[in-house]
């Protein structure tokens, strides 16, 4: 079962799973995605998803009837809200969907004897840190309700695994997933004005938005702009498939960073995107965005050590694929 399967990371993961012979049952409320994505997933994989349910993960009764109908081996749980700024405006909503959704899912899994889960976590749980790169052992200091909701889920999962030794849970802490499927059929299609750098850059390059606002150039980094560890969404999708293959290695909760292990500044990404798209990207430096941190870079070596896997796609591929998706889908999934 994949929850939030039509979102940015979920959709790429579904294709990866179908490509590798998995049978996939989808649960999604389509609150921040398009039903169009379902047909694109199936078209890319050349196979059908087993079933698609329009269900809010907080709705235990509806969720339970999905478990009644399918023999679920494992759940990959993406369904969540993920905009940091919005979480500051709507903190209760973030706890409700992210923590409440995970609680409802765990309770329903338990009733149906399903004990295996891959959970979507986030590098944002590390908060405003001085350490770089970050290992899984670095402390969590979430600094906004979105990050706190993810950290709360991880703590809950740790407790569940401590109390119930037959549970197997993997929590993957994504750094900054960007890019798109190389076909240009799947990508990041935010509704309204994008919050995140890569989709914003793509829309500026396409002429949909006038200029990029660079949120601060007075950070303590080489060029003064914020540094992040961008990872191609195809690598993130691949990592979920590998995670499922390794779920059975041991019981309990295991936590892994998913990043490339090197930092890229806003200016560096802007330059890379300009080169790939052949466009001059207008920008202006504005004030820092509240809640932003200086630098977040993963030490991704634990995943490599455990699974012999590492992210392989570079920044140029991330920009190239994001740009292709933007050109082929100028208004996201809206127009078809
Ligand atoms: C945030 C979360 C991350 C979450 C991701 C996806 C934190 C620390 N990180 O990532 O966990 O998975 O959102 O929603 O909470 N920038 C600009 N102009 C823009 C947009 C962004 O200059 O128009 C800059 C930001 O200041 C930052 C960098 O670009 O330095 C990346 O920002 P963004 O893409 O929004 O991701 P994060 O905030 O790092």
| pLDDT at residue 335 in the model | 57
b/e map 289-316, b = 16+ CB within 10 Å: eebbbbbbbbbbebbeeeeebebebebe
Among 120, 129, 128, 125, which residue's Cα sits nearest to residue 147? 125
Catalytic residues: 146
Cα of 217 from ligand 1 centre, angstroms: 14
- What gap in Å lies between CA 22 and CA 145, rounded to an integer? 34
Which residue has the CA at smallest separation from atom 22 of ligand 1? 214
Model confidence pLDDT, tens digit, residues 206-243: 999 999 999 999 999 999 999 999 999 999 999 999 99
Average pLDDT over residues 300-318: 98
Which of 199, 292, 294, 296, when mutated, tests ligand 1's pocket best, judged by the most ligand atoms within 8 Å of its CB?
A: 292
Which residue has the CA at smallest separation from atom 33 of ligand 1? 196
Give residues (CB < 6 A) around ligand 1: 82-84, 122-124, 147, 174, 176, 195-197, 200, 212-215, 226, 228, 266, 289, 292-293, 296
Model confidence pLDDT, tens digit, residues 83-137: 988 999 999 999 999 999 999 999 999 999 999 999 999 999 999 888 999 999 9
Which two structure tokens, joined as six digits, stand for 212?
A: 């990029």
Which long-range contacts link 140-148 to residues 24+ away (Cβ below 8 Å)? 143/291, 143/293, 144/84, 144/87, 144/88, 144/291, 145/87, 145/88, 145/90, 145/91, 145/94, 145/95, 146/81, 146/82, 146/83, 146/84, 146/86, 146/87, 146/94, 146/98, 146/122, 147/84, 147/87, 147/122
Which of 88, 91, 124, when mutated, tests ligand 1's pocket best, judged by the most ligand atoms within 8 Å of its CB?
A: 124
Please name each of the domains of the chain with its CATH number: 2-328 (3.40.50.720)
């Amino acid at each position: 079962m994949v929850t939030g399967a039509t979102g940015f990371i979920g959709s790429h993961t579904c294709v990866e799973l179908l490509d590798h012979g998995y049978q996939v049952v989808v649960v999604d409320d389509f609150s921040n995605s398009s039903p169009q994505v379902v047909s694109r997933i199936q078209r890319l994989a050349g196979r059908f998803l087993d079933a698609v349910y329009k269900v809010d993960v907080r709705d235990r009764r509806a969720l339970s009837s999905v478990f009644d109908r399918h023999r679920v081996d494992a759940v990959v749980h993406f369904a969540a809200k993920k905009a940091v700024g919005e979480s500051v405006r709507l903190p209760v909503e973030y706890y409700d969907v992210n923590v409440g959704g995970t609680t409802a899912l765990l309770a329903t899994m338990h009733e149906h004897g399903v004990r295996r889960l891959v959970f979507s976590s986030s590098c944002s749980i590390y908060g405003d840190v001085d350490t770089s790169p970050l290992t899984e052992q670095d402390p969590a200091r979430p600094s906004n309700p979105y990050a706190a909701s993810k950290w709360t889920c991880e703590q809950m999962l740790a407790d569940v695994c401590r109390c119930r030794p037959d549970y197997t849970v993997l929590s993957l802490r994504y750094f900054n997933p960007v890019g798109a499927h190389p076909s240009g059929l799947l990508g990041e299609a935010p509704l309204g004005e994008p919050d995140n750098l890569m989709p914003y850059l793509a829309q500026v390059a396409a002429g949909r938005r006038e200029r990029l606002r660079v949120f601060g150039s007075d950070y303590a980094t080489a060029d003064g702009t914020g540094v992040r560890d961008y990872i191609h969404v195809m690598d993130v999708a691949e990592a979920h498939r590998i995670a499922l293959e390794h779920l059975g290695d041991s019981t309990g909760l295991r936590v892994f960073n998913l990043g490339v292990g090197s930092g890229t500044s806003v200016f560096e990404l802007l330059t890379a995107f300009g080169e790939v798209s052949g466009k001059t990207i207008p920008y202006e430096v504005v004030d820092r965005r509240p809640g932003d941190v200086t630098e977040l870079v993963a030490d991704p070596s634990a995943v490599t050590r455990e699974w012999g896997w590492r992210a392989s796609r570079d920044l140029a591929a991330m920009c190239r694929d994001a740009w292709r998706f933007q050109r082929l889908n100028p208004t996201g999934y809206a127009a078809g």
